[in-house]
Structure 1
Amino acid sequence: MVNFDCKEHYKFPDLVEIIRLLRSPGGCPWDREQTHRSIRRNLLEEAYEAAEAIDTEDAGLLCEELGDVLMQVVFHARIEEEAGGFDIDAVSDGICKKLIERHPHVFGSVCVSGSDEVLVNWDQIKRKEKGQATTASAMDSVARSLPSLWRAEKIQSKAAKVGFDWPDVSGALDKLREETEELHAAAGGEGDPREELGDLLFSAVNTARFLKIDPEEALNEACEKFITRFRHVEAAAEQAGKPLSSMTLAEMDLLWDEAKQS
């Protein structure tokens, strides 16, 4: 049993202390065994669960999920502190300095005309901080752990900032059509299907960027739509007393068309 006073309400320092106790001798065996690598996925999963709470507009759930994300941050900081590295204060110090540095229009004497100029300044300051002398180096800094659609979008946006972009969506659509044709050819043995599929997806993201559509959200919505329609197909097959496994593709297509109309 560790020495800890339970309270009716807790604050951030209490979270830091709880994580310290969990990692200390006499704490939790599981928590003591964890490393940055072992809980890497936990951090990602908690962030996605917080994003889902935002999507469902559930404030109570968002409060809970943000707590889980915050716990992961404190957990990683504690692991590093035990190894003789940084601690949670260093994390706080770093982000505070970054926010002050990247908001010279708030904490300095820079004047801006609006949000667009804020973003331009932010990008310039970030590139200077990171020593990104070229656009290619800025592209290379986009995290490879991002979902591929988001990573593609960020890379394309960086190219667009230096003028390497179509003038309007028609160019992106033409490229999408071209890549579709190349994938057709590759599927028929005239090229590498994997490479051509990647090019097609990259072009689809570029089209989404022009249309100001989040490609991850669009694909997730397509997934939800597919599930809804497939549920209709299963229900219709069950009502007809015929399992899907015994149906032909043509029969299932008819049920799918019904689902699209419902």
Structure 2
Amino acid sequence: MYTRQKQIKAFENLLDTMDELREKCPWDKKQTMESLRNLTVEEVYELGDAILENDKVEIKKELGDVLLHIVFYSKIASETRDFDIADVIDSLCKKLVDRHPHIYGDTKVENEKQVKENWEKLKLKEGNTSVLQGVPKSLPALIKASRIQDKVAGVGFDWEEPSQVFEKVQEELRELQEEVKANDLNKIEDEFGDVLFSMINYARFLKIDPETALERTNKKFIFRFQHLEKRAKEHNLDLSTMSLEEMDKFWEEAKHLKL
């Protein structure tokens, strides 16, 4: 591991490289904050994939890509004298100190829950008009639902026991089934959304990240289905003409294989 001096030197090298690329590279010179936006989102998702795979080498690479984007945005802003990387870091450090009065002040906390509650209260004091103001509009719906629930729980709007949340899940499922019987597509969609929202809330009480849980299931399904495709090919079978019973035989094989 690097010493603090070497870490600072490495960051300085990155800043110097960014300056040079912005001056000399045709692609880098052309970029704007708007043009980088989608690329940044992609990089964050690639980092998320590496984390799920627990691939430390890839995590290191993807963290570098995300860091590059932070430096890139700051470089662009410095050219218009709006802010630079020092402003970004100073602002972050100030926020961290302000948001942790139990470390840098006299506030007393006993657990993580109280830390989160104080965090949300401090954000309101800083000028936010709503607890939910900090939830990005462009977040994927599943992640957004999870963040919404975290935010409101931080100010005490929450269930007390996991069993209460599970009862809510069952209630929403019953309401969904009622609308399915009535065959009203708009109401079915509404109730289906309520089921998902309540399941995401239940995941929070079980201390499970719903996005991670669903992505693990996606990966598991892909692995098993690709095994099914492989085995069908080995037997000169066409999936489109195979019976469900035939496909299920290979599917069951996949369930016993290591992902």
TM band (smaller chain):
0.7 to 0.9
Change (3 A) 1:203 1:77: same
> Which among 190, 197, 207 is matched to residue 184 of structure 2?
190
> Which among 187, 200, 203 is matched to residue 205 of structure 1?
200
Gaps of 5+ in 1: 1-8
Amino acid at match of 1:167: E
Spell out, residue by residue over 1:223-253, the C-alpha distance to the aligned partner (whole angstroms, 9 max, x if none).
1111122123223322332111222345334
Cα distance between partner residues in 2 of 1:191 and 1:182: 13
Contact 1:36-1:76 within 8 A present in 2 as well: yes
Spell out, residue by residue over 1:138-185, the C-alpha distance to the aligned partner (whole angstroms, 9 max, x if none).
124311233322221221233334544333233323332333344445
Q: Any idea what SS the aligned residue of 1:85 has?
A: coil
Deviates more, 1:12-21 or 1:220-229: 12-21
Amino acid at match of 1:165: D
Change (3 A) 1:257 1:185: farther
Deviation for aligned residue 1:28: 1.1
Change (3 A) 1:217 1:106: same
Does residue 232 of the first structure (1) align with residue 227 of the second (2)?
yes
Change (3 A) 1:206 1:111: closer
Contact 2:15-2:71 within 8 A present in 1 as well: yes
Does residue 106 of the first structure (1) align with residue 103 of the second (2)?
yes
Deviation for aligned residue 1:48: 2.7
Change (3 A) 1:13 1:162: closer
Contact 2:225-2:251 within 8 A present in 1 as well: yes
Q: Any idea what SS the aligned residue of 1:202 has?
A: helix
Amino acid at match of 2:13: D
Cα distance between partner residues in 1 of 2:256 and 2:16: 57
- Residue aligning to 2:65: 68
Contact 2:18-2:71 within 8 A present in 1 as well: yes
Q: Any idea what SS the aligned residue of 1:67 has?
A: helix
Counterparts of 1:44-83 in structure 2, within 5 Å, are 44-83=41-80
Deviation for aligned residue 1:59: 3.5
Amino acid at match of 2:209: D
Cα distance between partner residues in 2 of 1:56 and 1:251: 31
Counterparts of 1:1-262 in structure 2, within 5 Å, are 11-24=10-23, 27-132=24-129, 137-187=130-180, 189-192=183-186, 193-260=188-255
Deviation for aligned residue 1:104: 2.2
Cα distance between partner residues in 2 of 1:108 and 1:235: 61
Amino acid at match of 1:125: L
Deviation for aligned residue 1:91: 0.6
Cα distance between partner residues in 1 of 2:113 and 2:20: 46
Contact 1:46-1:68 within 8 A present in 2 as well: yes
Cα distance between partner residues in 2 of 1:18 and 1:261: 49
Q: Any idea what SS the aligned residue of 1:241 has?
A: coil
Deviation for aligned residue 1:95: 0.5
Cα distance between partner residues in 2 of 1:175 and 1:105: 35
Q: Identity of aligned pairs, percent?
A: 44
Deviation for aligned residue 1:187: 4.8
Deviation for aligned residue 1:261: 5.5
Change (3 A) 1:170 1:117: closer
Choose between structure 1 and 2: higher helix proportion: 2
- Residue aligning to 2:4: none
